[in-house]
């Protein structure tokens, strides 16, 4: 019998109506009672770790969750984490970096409506997460709407629909259809290496989405606030303004002062190439790191993680440029069907 640990952190799946609005209030035992039929044939252990809306899940919770998983990973064949959908992609990505080489499957799931709701997507998502957790395939994943997404590639793209998550610019790790759980072998690692817990995250980071008219002064303000890393969501395939308001020069100055600056695209799909346009090329000469098709969630959490592990800007830039877990790289086709 596969041993599966269910950890609840809260979120809509675990929510019920309160005087202050929908809030997490269900315990993991209440949740498991609702999906009793699904867990037959598995040896289930339950744990309530947090009872939080995921808007309140922050690097402190990521660190605790990573430590919990690291310490008990040999006691289970897989772990399911119930989590709010709003920041699930950040947590999935943060755990992926903190638990590199994890030897078992760790699968985050949640739902758009509470498990108490008769039309909930919660049961289906728990089923997908449970079967992925029992698959023996190591890694951190998000299970949602009958699809399994690599932890560093997930993004919440819809606020209401059941297909709230997509695998951005990367094939799905698995899907569930009439054949059961169908794994994409080109995506999923065969075995973990050896997990080393690296769960320090720095919050001295800033995520900047460009808009026409943005003041270059924002970069020095960040440096004055002791921000050590800035991730810029630039325009299109790779462009930043350099007339009237010269962002390139402002970026050069803070990079020279030791700030790590990374640049990617505001577009969700197909990634950046800052060499294409004059408006992009200049910034590459300033010592910035290009993130290509990394999601913003992955870029920010990777930067927080890298800053949590290392001090030297040059080392952090090197880490940011390295494809550690498939968080950046070419799109591959795989029929999701
Ligand atoms: N606000 C909720 C949360 O992220 C939304 C959800 O779980 O769907 O905790």
pLDDT of residue 336: 44
The preferred substitution site among 10, 14, 15, 157 for testing ligand 1, maximizing ligand atoms within 8 Å of CB, is 15
Backbone angles phi, psi at 252, to 5 degrees: -55, -45
Give the model's confidence band at 337: pLDDT under 50 very low, under 70 low, under 90 confident, else very high: very low
Task: Let me know if 203 is a catalytic residue.
Answer: no
Query: Is 70 exceeded by the pLDDT of residue 192?
Result: no
Model confidence pLDDT, tens digit, residues 212-258 = 999 999 999 999 999 999 999 999 999 999 999 999 999 999 999 99
Q: Is the pLDDT of residue 296 over 60?
A: yes
Closest-CA residue to 248 (of 226, 274, 276) = 274
Number of Cβ atoms within 10 Å of the Cβ of 45 = 15
CA of 119 relative to ligand 1 center, distance in Å: 17
pLDDT at residue 141 greater than cutoff 90: yes
CA–centroid distance, 54 to ligand 1, in Å, is 6
**For range 152-174, the mean pLDDT:** 97
Question: How much is the average pLDDT of 173-191?
Answer: 90
Please state the rounded mean pLDDT for residues 114-118: 92
Q: Could you give the CA distance from residue 141 to residue 7 in angstroms, rounded to a whole number?
A: 14
Nearest atom within ligand 1 for CA of residue 111: 8
How many Å lie between the centroid of ligand 1 and the Cα of residue 53? 6
CA of 125 to the centre of ligand 1 (A): 14
Binning pLDDT at 50, 70 and 90, where does residue 32 land?
Answer: very high
- Using CA atoms, how far apart are residues 134 and 114, in angstroms rounded to an integer? 24
Catalytic residue among 12, 87, 259, 295: 12
Tens-place pLDDT, residues 52-105: 999 999 999 999 999 999 999 999 999 999 999 999 999 999 999 999 999 999
Beta-carbon contacts of 166 under 8 Å, excluding residues fewer than 6 positions away, are 149, 154, 155, 157, 268
Give the residue, by CA position, lying nearest to ligand 1 atom 7. 84
Nearest atom in ligand 1 to 86's CA: 4
pLDDT at 120: 86
Q: What is the mean pLDDT of residues 188-212?
A: 92
CA 271 to chain centre: 17
- For the CA of 112, the closest atom of ligand 1 is 8
């Amino acid at each position: 019998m596969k041993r599966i640990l269910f950890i609840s952190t809260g979120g809509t799946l675990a929510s019920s109506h309160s005087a202050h609005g929908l809030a997490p209030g269900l315990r993991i035992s209440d949740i498991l009672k609702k999906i009793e039929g699904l867990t037959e044939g598995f040896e289930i252990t339950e744990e309530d770790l947090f009872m939080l809306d995921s808007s309140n899940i922050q690097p402190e919770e990521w660190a605790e969750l990573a430590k919990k998983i690291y310490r008990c990973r040999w006691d289970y064949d897989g772990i399911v984490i119930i989590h709010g959908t709003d920041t699930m992609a950040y947590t999935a990505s943060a755990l992926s970096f903190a638990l590199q080489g994890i030897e078992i499957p760790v699968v985050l799931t949640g739902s758009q409506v509470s498990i108490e709701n008769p039309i909930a997507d919660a049961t289906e998502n728990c089923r997908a997460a449970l079967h992925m957790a029992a698959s023996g395939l190591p890694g951190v994943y998000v299970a949602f709407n009958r699809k399994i997404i690599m932890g560093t590639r997930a993004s919440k793209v819809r606020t209401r629909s059941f297909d709230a998550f997509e695998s951005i610019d990367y094939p799905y790790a698995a899907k569930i259809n009439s054949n059961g759980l169908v794994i994409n072998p080109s995506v999923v690692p065969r075995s973990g290496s050896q997990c080393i817990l690296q769960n320090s995250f720095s919050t001295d980071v800033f995520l900047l989405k460009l808009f026409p008219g943005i003041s270059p002064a924002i970069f020095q303000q960040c440096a004055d606030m002791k921000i050590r890393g800035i991730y810029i969501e630039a325009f299109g395939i790779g462009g930043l303004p350099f007339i009237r308001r010269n962002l390139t020069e402002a970026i050069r100055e803070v990079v020279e002062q030791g700030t790590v600056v990374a640049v990617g695209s505001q577009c969700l799909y197909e990634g950046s190439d800052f060499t294409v346009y004059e408006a992009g090329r200049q910034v590459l000469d300033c010592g910035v790191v290009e993130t290509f098709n990394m999601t913003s969630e992955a870029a920010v959490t990777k930067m927080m993680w890298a800053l949590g592990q290392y001090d030297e800007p040059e080392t952090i830039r090197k880490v940011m440029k390295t494809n550690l877990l498939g968080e950046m790289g070419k799109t591959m086709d795989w029929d999701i069907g």
